[in-house]
Amino acid sequence: MTLWFDFTTTIRNQGRSGIAGAEWNIGQALLEATPDLRCFELAGRKGLVEIDPRVRLAGAVYASSSGGTAIVVNVTPTWRDRVRVGLRSRLGRRADPYIRAMSRVYQAPATMRTWLREPRRPRPAARPDLALLGDVVRSDDVVISMGADWDGELAERLLALRQRTGCTIVTMVYDLIPLTHTHLAFHNDPALFTRYYDALLETSDLITCISEQSRLDLVDFAVSRGKPEPNAEVLVLGETPPPPITADDRQDFYLCVGTVERRKNLELVYDALRILESAGRPVPTVVVAGAIGWGNDDFLAEIRTSTTEASRAMVFLGAVDDDVLERLYRTARGLLFPSVFEGWGLPVREAAVRGCPVAISDSPAIRQAAGTYEGATVLPSNDAGPWADYLDRGPTATVTARVRPWSDVAADLLRLVASEAGGAGATPGGAMQSSG
Question: CA dist 122 to 25, 52, 119, 385, Å?
Answer: 22, 18, 9, 51
Q: What is the mean pLDDT of residues 59-83?
A: 43
With CA atoms as reference, report the closest residue to 97 among 271, 294, 276, 331: 294
Instruction: Name the more confident of 204 and 371.
Output: 204
Q: Are 310 and 280 in contact (CB under 8 A)?
A: no
User: At residue 288, does pLDDT exceed 90?
Assistant: yes
Q: Which residues lie closer than 8 Å to 260 by C-beta, 6 or more apart?
A: 266, 288, 290, 291, 292, 293, 296, 300, 316
Phi, psi for residue 167 in degrees, rounded to 5: -70, 170
User: At residue 6, does pLDDT exceed 60?
Assistant: yes
Q: What percent of the chain has pLDDT over 90?
A: 51
Which residue ranges make up each domain of the chain? 3-62+125-238+405-420, 80-117, 253-393
User: At residue 46, does pLDDT exceed 50?
Assistant: yes
User: At residue 93, does pLDDT exceed 90?
Assistant: no
Q: Which CATH superfamily is domain 3-62+125-238+405-420 in?
A: Glycogen Phosphorylase B; (3.40.50.2000)
Residue 279: Cβ-neighbour burial (10 angstroms; 0-12, 13-18, 19+):
exposed
Q: Are 81 and 304 in contact (CB under 8 A)?
A: yes
- pLDDT, residue 104, reads 61
Residue 309 binned pLDDT confidence (cut-offs 50, 70, 90): very high
With CA atoms as reference, report the closest residue to 413 among 425, 430, 429: 430
- pLDDT, residue 149, reads 86
Q: Are 233 and 316 in contact (CB under 8 A)?
A: no
Identical fold for domains 3-62+125-238+405-420 and 253-393, yes or no, is yes
Whole-angstrom Cα distance, residue 134 to residue 255?
48
- pLDDT, residue 435, reads 34
User: At residue 436, does pLDDT exceed 50?
Assistant: no
Instruction: Name the more confident of 351 and 121.
Output: 351
What is this structure's pTM? 0.75
Q: What is the mean pLDDT of residues 322-336?
A: 91
With residues binned 3-state (H G I as helix, E B as strand, rest as coil), the percentages for the chain, rounded to 5, are 45, 15, 40
DSSP code of residue 343: S
Q: Which CATH number is associated with domain 253-393?
A: 3.40.50.2000
With CA atoms as reference, report the closest residue to 287 among 253, 312, 260: 253
Q: Give, to the nearest 10 degrees, the angle between helix 212-224 and helix 190-203.
A: 100
User: At residue 97, does pLDDT exceed 80?
Assistant: no
pLDDT digits (tens, 9 = 90+) for 142-160: 999 999 888 889 999 999 9
Instruction: Name the more confident of 430 and 117.
Output: 117
Residue 81 binned pLDDT confidence (cut-offs 50, 70, 90): low
pLDDT digits (tens, 9 = 90+) for 338-387: 999 888 888 999 999 999 999 999 999 999 999 888 889 999 999 999 99
- Which amino acid makes up residue 103? S
Q: What is the mean pLDDT of residues 175-197?
A: 83
Residue 102 binned pLDDT confidence (cut-offs 50, 70, 90): low
- pLDDT, residue 400, reads 84
Q: Which residues lie closer than 8 Å to 146 by C-beta, 6 or more apart?
A: 5, 6, 9, 22, 23, 26, 27, 171, 172, 208
Whole-angstrom Cα distance, residue 351 to residue 339?
15
Q: What is the mean pLDDT of residues 300-306?
A: 88
